[in-house]
Structure 1
């Protein structure tokens, strides 16, 4: 089944010809800040006498339909001085650009609310989830470790990789199909502790946006989602310190001005300290009979950002991230070491040519690598894989009369791949050296227009041209994008989107979860780029005097050149890894229902997803097939996914939170029978499992309840609170994985049969975290 793409332009044309309001003319413009010239998203622009109003989009643009004549235009934005301006509207249309003055710095902290339900209703973009670190800090967390990505897993269309995992599986895509950006630079492995926590320190993050569909043209390189993370820029008035002490980690952030009203900084650090206790236990137990040492594990990360105002029209932003995980084991001369992590640096220059034209130029370097080291006596082994990027990109924002906000730009990235580099040593002598190195280049150019046709209709359409070159082979592709929003009334909007995406690098993994040992692999002559098309339609309804927003979205996604592995594939120490690949198709479709409340003492959301995710690998594209060439469910195919989040402010000092999660169990492969044969020597029978279908079985359904409470304290200086969490409150033994255990005769050891056993990971886990700010 293929979506009739030729109908898409027809749909947009039909929307365009829907009549607007009679005898009215367009008034449009840009609302920005006098402080730094940044556009203000979510500002209210209205003419109260006519009961006409609008909210600015993410670029600060607005459009009103007003009759000809003189009117009083009012503009307001939380944290800024409101203004009132008399305007003259003619039959040729009018452009009014205004700048708002920030409120006095003598005020205490001002909470600027930009993520309102009405703004979501009027946003042209669809399938977008926005989250602030303030919201994430209110929810109960595993071991008290606040995690922005796990909070996003509670949104419809977003699934986790398993119990406690911070992996993202968005609308049927795998973990390698998510583009993760930190201040515009790519982060390749956004996980700590083998995927249980994300690399994003909540104190260092200002906001997170997750695009599930309707991707803007400036994003490319992945199929399923874009996770865009912005770091805090630092307080420009005075030095502030904040942090938290938890069960397994502590964090500390310092921010403030370097030069008042000109330069600011913020530095955040976080470290786990379980290793401090395990080392002491090992020390106390050393020398005891039958003693096995506890492995040593810890992680840390550092975030930093520096901003500098060069002048009225220029600003510099320097961002950095460094994070590492360490796992070590040492026992009786055998040493095993494993470390992995990300490094990122980005320098951005923002330039204002005039009130209509802005440019952002970013130079970034990012890397991810892991290293495994084994030592036994005089023998040692090192295994390393890595990917390193150097990128340059420029984005322009141009605001044009008539309701057009145009964005265009270009990017270029140099990729360096180290795939499975192995060195073995006997003493100081190298005995074996293996592995592959690749160098590749990727580029993209794009242009897009966010067009507010009238007060009811807005369009966003664009085109991206991307390319990738490696060892003389060049791939190129066109990626059209389009989305539309039409307001049926002040409280009801219809939205639709289409996006085509290309992905030139691939994650090689023999596991359904994203692990540190996964290998990034480039497109080559044999391995072609992945491609997807996604179409989505939705309706949004605002009710309860603007306190509730109900949305319903349906989507269908086609995925091409998906990668899997032959049965018995060798993924390590293989210089011809491409020979182990199989290529196939994928499809994902479903319905997402979302109810959200953001105002009042009780807030939260309910999200439900009904979806199907399938793969197909047949003889048409390969020398062998999977599952007989038939469609089969992906491991993360889950028919039902329900999330309920409730936050209740009991008093000024005490807030209660609750999260309930239910989902269909993961699909997995299980042998349906076993064949036993015995050799002529009379040894034990060899047993060979027989598999009929890939992922033909289901784990039992997953569900749990998390509870939390936040108690604000009254310190002499600053702010503080105690956050209590209970993860898995009713102690549900959810499956982590299933394995097969042999049942043997106690007398002669003969195999009597086999039994499936479930392994559960987390029982009820209470925790407490002390947070402070001064």
Structure 2
């Protein structure tokens, strides 16, 4: 019997021993938005008569609580909604659904005395659940509401630099974040080279970031999981909402398919920056392209009270082109078909089939000779997840996951050359996993969550796979036939956490978790660009592995209106990848010959002080951290800073409701410049000046800081129509932050070299009109 089987048996036996002989019954149901009929994720159902007893709704709005027979007072809460209280007599299993009222629909602002305290009582730590209303108020570039830009304002999460869409979590690289949209993987989250993200906030329902130890149901990435859920659609009535800004417009249509049984939501967005190019006097700009679009689609239908199906998809594309000389387009496509089934009052099932694809194409015209670079990654994913609610102290999650990957790392095609007709060198892999986790509260003030994930990753033919020596020369070739299995990696990923409730207002949490990653992004940039290459683990590239320990203290004040958290972590990383010094990249099948692997470490401490209630809300976050790599063959085999290493990172976000219809929001950010490799000197070879480089990432970009301001004026609410104007100022005091620094010959003295800084933005005002009816 292997370790994983022993863990399953032990968990089940432990759960059985916790069941009392006293008669117990189950209260279960869904918590919904009373105005739209959409299920609310993370709503709490509290038993007021029992201390620290209750449940939170899962990702589909379902809850289940098993209690001894008796009469109970219950309270149902969700941020931004009016709390519902009721009294129930539990003498048999009972199904009870709750519909909450959005407090913004009332004539006066409702301030609740008792607020949710999941940050203290929940076992999980390092979890950040974003409020969609906050996202709508935080000022961002060009006034475009952006989930990713808001996430980057939280401690432990760092952006990639001015105007970029990538982000880093606790020392992880940009590709070490698992980004899910309705459970489908999104491989590139950037529009317009990172100035905007692929997430249209009008189409989103819930956003949760796991930056600590990930729950066992997630796997495949080392750093974090960003779980984004799309709106299901209004089951009560048809509605239209949208917005018009300076460079983009968006529109969302939703409504019932059959009232209270099924609904749909369609959201589209497009920039019209390319239309401004047509107004240019320059012919070269008139014939250029610069735009993106995306489309979110979702529909659902209740087959009966226990079964429901969902179908959702995302389609997005960016197109950049300069006349016929250069072209770049890239995009994502996802599709999710899901079946939710309530097998019993205690057992919830979710069966999902998922498709996702990311691809790009670069076109270049060299004096009439066309060249193309193409790359693609596709996934076909089948998941089966279960949640078993044993009682209020025990909850089990378990399931399996099988993914088939089809990857074209990169192909260079030259017109009128033999290579243009060559077969694509696709790579195939089969990724499987099984997991189980147990949430257990044996005592009123102690809770555990533990489990494990067993993952396997297998290369699948057809093709030739190479092994290389330190010089990058092929030492061995493995040839796999069609559908023949090759190298297989097996990993067990244990995860365990504990929450010690010191009192009703504060708690201490500790976690340990291991994660593995078998898909790797090869990039020369800090945050990733559309032309980066994805490669699978192979005979030459081993799975990346991380082990993280974290410790946190959580404290609430003033009836949970103020929150304070302090989290510290240390992460060990194996099989970290970096390019060799002077690597030669060719988009071919030998790209692995230019790679080196080694170890890494990341450690830091994060502070968050947050105010959630009142006219003034917001947060202050600070991160002190370090990220280093040690790879044989780089930097004299000594530790060196990773490109995403930043010592200090500060964010301040304030939102002030001046009047019922007038609010203002401001953000200020400061962080240490990214680690970069600059020349330490120069020398001359045959009349050519060549830069001389020594240590890897031994220098720093200048420190970065910026203030943004947003003002929102809500129009007068009518029965079926709402509107608002948003005026925002990006980089309010016009700080010239460095985007790049290049080294050029001093025109006044050729013997000297000067550093030239390029800055993207000074102050950028924008105005957006939003509407809903």
TM-score range, shorter-chain basis? 0.7 to 0.9
| Partners of 2:110 and 2:25 in 1: CA distance | 24
Structural mapping, 1:677-696, within 5 Å: 677=685, 679=686, 685-696=687-698
Corresponding residue of 1:449:
438
TM-score (norm 1): 0.87
| Partners of 2:38 and 2:274 in 1: CA distance | 47
Corresponding residue of 2:473:
none
Q: Give the number of aligned pairs.
A: 720
Of 410, 413, 428, the match for 2:400 = 410
TM-score (norm 2): 0.88
Distance 1:103 1:502, change over 3 A: closer
Distance 1:438 1:268, change over 3 A: same
User: Over residues 78-115 of structure 1, what are the superposed CA-to-partner deviations in whole Å (9 max), with x where a residue is unaligned?
Assistant: 56853213469xxxxxx976623426999958999999
Corresponding residue of 1:519:
533
**Does 1:211 find its partner at 2:210?**
yes
Corresponding residue of 1:258:
257
Structural mapping, 1:114-125, within 5 Å: 117-125=116-124
Corresponding residue of 2:448:
459
Corresponding residue of 1:440:
429
| Partners of 1:767 and 1:565 in 2: CA distance | 40
Structural mapping, 1:535-684, within 5 Å: 535-618=549-632, 625-677=633-685, 679=686
- Structure 2: runs of 5 or more not aligned: 1-6, 15-21, 461-485
Q: CA deviation at 1:58?
A: 4.5
| Partners of 2:738 and 2:410 in 1: CA distance | 32
- Between 339-348 and 117-126, the greater mean CA deviation after superposition: 117-126
Structural mapping, 1:460-499, within 5 Å: 460-471=449-460, 472-499=486-513
Q: CA deviation at 1:589?
A: 0.3
CA contact (8 A) 1:565 1:580 kept: yes
| Partners of 1:26 and 1:661 in 2: CA distance | 56
| Partners of 1:241 and 1:510 in 2: CA distance | 43
| Secondary structure of the corresponding residue to residue 188 of structure 1 | coil
| Secondary structure of the corresponding residue to residue 445 of structure 1 | strand
| Secondary structure of the corresponding residue to residue 448 of structure 1 | strand
Q: CA deviation at 1:161?
A: 0.6
| Partners of 1:731 and 1:34 in 2: CA distance | 46
- Between 756-765 and 313-322, the greater mean CA deviation after superposition: 756-765
Corresponding residue of 1:709:
711
**Does 1:321 find its partner at 2:314?**
yes
Structural mapping, 1:188-337, within 5 Å: 188-281=187-280, 284-286=281-283, 295-330=288-323, 334-337=324-327
- Between 570-579 and 493-502, the greater mean CA deviation after superposition: 570-579
| Partners of 2:638 and 2:404 in 1: CA distance | 38
Q: CA deviation at 1:45?
A: 2.2
Of 382, 386, 401, the match for 2:376 = 386
| Partners of 1:561 and 1:381 in 2: CA distance | 34
User: Over residues 235-260 of structure 1, what are the superposed CA-to-partner deviations in whole Å (9 max), with x where a residue is unaligned?
Assistant: 00111100010111100000000111
| Partners of 1:509 and 1:383 in 2: CA distance | 15
| Partners of 1:660 and 1:105 in 2: CA distance | 30
User: Over residues 668-705 of structure 1, what are the superposed CA-to-partner deviations in whole Å (9 max), with x where a residue is unaligned?
Assistant: 1111111224x4xxxxx222222221111112211111
User: Over residues 505-526 of structure 1, what are the superposed CA-to-partner deviations in whole Å (9 max), with x where a residue is unaligned?
Assistant: 1001122221000111011111
Of 396, 409, 412, the match for 2:386 = 396
Corresponding residue of 2:96:
99
Of 731, 734, 746, the match for 1:731 = 734
- Structure 1: runs of 5 or more not aligned: 1-8, 17-24, 89-94, 619-624, 680-684
Q: CA deviation at 1:419?
A: 1.9
- Between 453-462 and 634-643, the greater mean CA deviation after superposition: 453-462
Distance 1:708 1:28, change over 3 A: farther
User: Over residues 119-178 of structure 1, what are the superposed CA-to-partner deviations in whole Å (9 max), with x where a residue is unaligned?
Assistant: 221111100111133211101110111110110000000000111212110000111100
Corresponding residue of 1:622:
none
User: Over residues 551-581 of structure 1, what are the superposed CA-to-partner deviations in whole Å (9 max), with x where a residue is unaligned?
Assistant: 0000001111010011221222332111101
Q: CA deviation at 1:292?
A: 6.6
Distance 1:263 1:657, change over 3 A: same
